[in-house]
Chain A
Amino acid sequence: MAIVLDGIVFGLQLSLLAVGLTLIYGLGGVLNLAHGQLVVVAGIAGAVTISAGAAIPVAVVLAVAAAAALAWLLDATLLRPVYRLTGERRVLLSLLVTLGVAFLLDGILITTHPFTALNLSVPGPAIDILGVRMRSGSVVASIIAVTALAAVLAFLRLSRFGRAVRSVIQDEEGAALCGVNLPLTRTVVFVLSGVMAGLFAITQGLISSVGATSGLDFTILALIVTVVGGLGRVSGALVAGLVLGIVHAVSSFYIGAFVTFVILLGVAMLTILIRPTGIFGGGAR
Chain B
Amino acid sequence: MTAPVPSADGATPSAATCRHTTLRAYLPVAIAAAVLAAVPLALGGSGYLMSLATTALVFAAYAIGMNVIFGSSGQLFLCLGALAGVAGFTSVLLADDQGWPLALSVTTGVVLATAIGALFSWVAVRRNLGVIFVGIVTLAFSLVFTNLVQGLRTLTGGETGRVVDAGGAALRGPISSYYLFLGVVVGFLALYRWLEGSRTGWAWRALKDDPVAAELAGVDVARARILAGTIGAAMVGLIGALFAHHEAFISPTSYAFAHVDVRVLIVIAFGGIGSLLGPVVGAVMLGVIDEVLRPLGQLRLAVYGALLLALFLGFRRGVVPAVADVVTTWRRARTPSDAPAAGRGTRASKH
Contact = CB atoms under 8 A, between A and B. Distances in A.
- A–B touch (CB < 8 A): the answer is yes
Interface of A: 31, 78, 81, 88, 91-93, 95-97, 99-108, 110-111, 114, 220, 223-224, 227, 231, 258-259, 261-262, 265-266, 268-269, 272-273, 276
A105 B301 CA distance: 8
19 contacts: A88-B74, A91-B131, A93-B313, A95-B76, A96-B308, A96-B312, A97-B313, A99-B308, A103-B258, A103-B262, A105-B305, A106-B302, A110-B298, A220-B143, A224-B140, A259-B151, A262-B147, A265-B147, A269-B144
Contact of A265 (B123, B131, B132, B140): B140
A224 B137 CA distance: 10
B155 interface: no
Nearest to A99: B308
Nearest to A88: B131
Interface of B: 74, 76, 123, 127, 129-133, 135-137, 139-141, 143-144, 147-148, 150-151, 258, 262, 265, 297-309, 312-313
Nearest to B134: A272
Contact of A107 (B137, B140, B150, B304): B304
Nearest to B306: A104
A262 B148 contact: yes
Interface class of chain B by DSSP: helix
Given A103-B301, A261-B143, A262-B151, 16 more contacts: A88-B130, A88-B131, A96-B308, A97-B312, A104-B305, A107-B305, A108-B299, A108-B302, A110-B298, A223-B139, A223-B140, A259-B151, A265-B143, A268-B136, A269-B137, A272-B127
B130 A110 contact: no
Contacts of B300: 107
B147 A100 contact: no
A106 B305 contact: yes
A88 B300 CA distance: 30
B136 A258 contact: no
A124 B207 CA distance: 63
Nearest to A275: B127
A227 B148 CA distance: 22
Contacts of A258: 147, 150-151
A111 B309 contact: no
A260 B312 CA distance: 35
A231 to B, nearest CB: 7
A172 to B, nearest CB: 16
Contacts of A259: 151
B151 A100 contact: no
Contacts of B130: 88, 91
Nearest to A274: B127
